[in-house]
Chain A
Amino acid sequence: MSPVPDEVRSLVQVTDLVVDFGETRAVDRLSFTLDRGAALGLVGESGSGKSTVASALLGLHRGTGAHVGGVVRVGGIDVQEASGTELRRLRGGKAAMVFQDPLSSLDPYYAVGDQIAEVYRVHTGASRRAARARAVEVLDRVGIPDAVRRARSRPHEFSGGMRQRALIAMALACEPELLIADEPTTALDVTVQAQILDLLHVLRTETGMGLLLVTHDVGVAAESVDDVLVMRYGRSVERGPVREVLGAPREAYTRELLGAVPRVDSPRRTAAPARGDVVLEAVGLRREFGRGKRAFPAVDGVSLTVRRGETLGIVGESGSGKTTLGRMLVGLLDPSAGEIRHGGDPAPGGVRAGVQMVFQDPVSSLNPRRAIGESIADPLRARGERDDALVRARVRALMERVGLDPAYYGRYPHEFSGGQRQRVGIARALAAEPRVIVCDEPVSALDVTTQAQVTALLAELQEEHGLALVFIAHDLAVVRQVSDRVAVMRRGRIVEQGSVDEVYGAPRQAYTKQLLAAVPALDPEAAARRRTARGELAAA
């Protein structure tokens, strides 16, 4: 059968795609095409079905019990009907996917380089050695420093951002015709995010690779794609060239979405809180990983204070030690040196009541065998609340506040989208009514509207209860919006610390300046301009 000419031109052809998970309709009669070498952005709020569409392109719903209707053709292959061999050739070879949860998407037992090499060998039949060389090459390409050595590390030795880059490297290894990137930059700080987006751009222009970029971050979309498809409730809301959709949105929902995007230059929250008591203090914190010669400090001499009712933002590139610091602050990780004081007195170590954390990885922070409602209820029950009805009511209220349907109480984590899981984590932290919450990338997987909703919620609680927040994020705009003070981390140290206005308005350190320059712009024109500027900056 000779392929119809249409198929030669269009790399992806989705017609009337419907995906049902039991009673939930995740995708509802969605159709779109993607031409060879073109880039399409899939934007929309959390839970709108973006990841589901992405998975459908590789036939990942086959055999799972999900019901898939409609036709999906990728590179001329009918994904739903293809044979096992055909499907395997498609996956990774013709179309590669970067998953949304980079932290749990790599095999913990094997070196990162070997995992990439394995995929490469499956599709090219290259020798072991060539494959390993290729792995180092792609790792280097996605900006992993010292790629030769790092290729031998296991995933747990990578920071969140490094893992995401490793996944992108894996996708690039076989030079696929289509790259499906599901939130490829959520875990990345802006500089790396910019690098990755630039990289995708270069790859696209060099190899003619098609790109389907799934993102809730309109800014990211603006930087990287030609066309956008706005999704909501599994349906297409608006589709068109990125300039038109973002510049002059036709639909009300799109306008709403754009309006919620935080900007580095937008007015920030006004109420400067009164200086309260110190609730959490870190003095000379240091933490090393590894032993002997391989030991290196992930956090190196960090001192900071958090006061009642204030928000301390922590920004910094991937791998700079933010998560490590956060875990020490809540007592989950013992510092190698230095101490933590709660309300003035030095803590004996270990966890403390009133201190909570929102984990960076929403997948592994939820017990796969427990209904999420029960996870949220944990702190309530731990406090001794016996009345089950009360607990449930409270959990439902919390779920509602973080924008989750209370009816999902009895669902299990794997039934949720990435953003939904992150909100479960936030709800759980809130349920404890803590004094301090360390939020590790709490909104990175959330679409802008939900993001706004959640940050507003946090601010509200802060006002009500004098909650102190440590807000770890790579998104400078969000941090600016929520924080009173900001600390900038690099290589385990705090390089700059001060009020938001000081740091954002008059950054003293070159590194901070660099960070600010990397924030994606909403305007595609501006994005292109900045891209060249960055190139020059790097070249210089």
Chain B
Amino acid sequence: MSEALLAPEAGTGATAPAPASGARQFWRRLRTQRAALVAAVVVALLVLVALAAPLLTAVEGQDPSTYHPDLVDSGRGGVPIGSFGGISAEHWLGVEPQTGRDLFARLVYGARVSLGVAFAATFVQVLLGVGIGIAAGLGNRLVDQVLSRATDVIVALPLMVLSLALMAIVPSGFPRPVLVALVIGLVAWGSTAKIVRAQTITLKELDYVAAARLSGWSTWRIARRELLPGLAAPVMTYAALLIPMNITVEAALSFLGVGVKPPTASWGQMLTSADVWYQAAPQYLLLPAGALFVTVLALTVLGDGVRTALDPRAASRLRIGTGQKREGGA
């Protein structure tokens, strides 16, 4: 995002009328995309649900950790009693097999962990990936070599090995969700860095980067002002996908001992324990899977919208002369 987006309107007293600021243009472009707006609402709702989890479960009158052994059929492996996984007025989405814990409560509480961890981890990944990718792409041969090799190392080291290391180093008092987000973020930035580096190398050959160099900007400033906006599209697209991936990685880490502590629920954990129940208690699998899917879809559509809105050319250039009669943005 260019500084123009943030700069205050100048009161220069110049004769010309003040131009629409970048931020305002961004909003204008975003507003024209209905799908993106719907997606934004969905994302906001999800975040709201996560934040309001205690409130929602209070309304339902349940909590995510209380066992209800009477609600499951112990002789049949603990499958919920009743139709549709034990859906009832008390348990809106039924109960978990074996334990009888309330699924609605677990789902909304799970949203907190999953979304929180995934967003935070993605943030760290993107930060590291973009920083390292740009530095490698712009730096001299030595910098590029060092960073590219470091990227190779991080990609090559399996998650399991690295998380073991981090686990051993971090004292056990460290807050778990933060640790999980950090572990994922610190371990899985390799792909982002590679994409960004490749893109940077392409972009830096362009004359406008040369012009910026002549302006006297530092490399860092060039990266931020000239390259970042051009990188936004691929990075944002990728980040929207990193979020669901991170949600599943969180589940995997739980098995390794660095996940969030039980009985805290997370969508990833629910998915991993639900997969075997797909036949006996399908809703147990479908609920977290559906929630994840909706999240991913909304994030992707929103990401697309933002990407389009960020590109001043997108609205007009994309369709140039396609022969399509429809007017308006793509």
State the A residues within 8 Å of B (CB).
58-66, 83-84, 87-88, 91, 327, 330, 332, 351, 353, 355-357, 359, 361, 364-371, 373-375, 378-379, 382-383, 388-389, 392-393, 396, 405-412, 414, 425, 428-429, 432
Q: Mark B203-231, 1 if CB is under 8 A from A, else 0.
A: 00011101111111100010001100110
Contact B211 A359 (CB under 8 A): yes
Q: In the complex where A87-B323, A365-B208, A369-B312 touch, is A393 in contact with B215 (Cβ < 8 A)?
A: no
Contact B22 A410 (CB under 8 A): yes
Closest A residue to B330 by beta carbon equals: A63
Contact B215 A382 (CB under 8 A): yes
Shortest CB distance A529–B (Å): 40
Q: In the complex where A364-B206, A378-B215 touch, is A409 in contact with B323 (Cβ < 8 A)?
A: no
Contact B19 A361 (CB under 8 A): no
Q: In the complex where A65-B316, A359-B207 touch, is A411 in contact with B214 (Cβ < 8 A)?
A: no
Contact B206 A410 (CB under 8 A): no
Q: What residues of chain A lie closer than 8 Å to B310, measured between beta carbons?
A: 369
Q: How far is the CA of A83 from the CA of B326 in the complex (A)?
A: 13
Q: What residues of chain A lie closer than 8 Å to B321, measured between beta carbons?
A: 58-64, 91
List the 6 closest A-B pairs by CB distance, nearest first: A410-B19, A407-B16, A365-B207, A63-B319, A412-B312, A369-B229
Q: What residues of chain A lie closer than 8 Å to B326, measured between beta carbons?
A: 63
Q: What residues of chain A lie closer than 8 Å to B312, measured between beta carbons?
A: 368-369, 412, 414
Q: In the complex where A359-B207, A405-B16 touch, is A412 in contact with B313 (Cβ < 8 A)?
A: yes
CB < 8 Å: which of A87, A371, A407 contacts B4? A371
Shortest CB distance B317–A (Å): 6
Closest B residue to A22 by beta carbon equals: B316
Q: What residues of chain A lie closer than 8 Å to B206, measured between beta carbons?
A: 364
Q: In the complex where A369-B310, A370-B225, A393-B14 touch, is A383 in contact with B216 (Cβ < 8 A)?
A: yes
Q: In the complex where A357-B214, A406-B15 touch, is A65 in contact with B207 (Cβ < 8 A)?
A: no
CB < 8 Å: which of A63, A91, A357, A364 contacts B324? A63
User: Would you mind naming 22 contact pairs between A and B with Cβ atoms under 8 Å apart?
Assistant: A59-B321, A62-B322, A63-B321, A63-B326, A63-B327, A84-B323, A351-B213, A359-B210, A365-B208, A367-B229, A368-B313, A369-B230, A370-B4, A373-B4, A389-B11, A393-B10, A396-B14, A406-B14, A410-B19, A410-B25, A412-B312, A412-B313
Q: A83-B323, A375-B208 are in contact. List 6 more A-B contacts (CB 8 A).
A: A58-B321, A64-B320, A87-B323, A359-B210, A365-B208, A382-B215
Q: What residues of chain B lie closer than 8 Å to A366, measured between beta carbons?
A: 208, 211
Chain B interface extent, by class: 35 or more
Closest A residue to B2 by beta carbon equals: A370
Contact B215 A370 (CB under 8 A): no
Consensus secondary structure, chain B interface = loop
Q: What residues of chain A lie closer than 8 Å to B323, measured between beta carbons?
A: 59, 62-63, 83-84, 87-88
Q: What residues of chain B lie closer than 8 Å to A332, measured between beta carbons?
A: 210, 213-214
Q: How far is the CA of A365 from the CA of B211 in the complex (A)?
A: 7
CB < 8 Å: which of A66, A406, A428 contacts B316? A66
Q: What residues of chain B lie closer than 8 Å to A414, measured between beta carbons?
A: 312-313, 316-317
Q: What residues of chain B lie closer than 8 Å to A365, measured between beta carbons?
A: 207-208, 210-211
Shortest CB distance B5–A (Å): 10
Contact B216 A396 (CB under 8 A): no
Contact A411 B10 (CB under 8 A): no
Closest A residue to B322 by beta carbon equals: A63
Shortest CB distance B12–A (Å): 4
Contact A407 B17 (CB under 8 A): yes
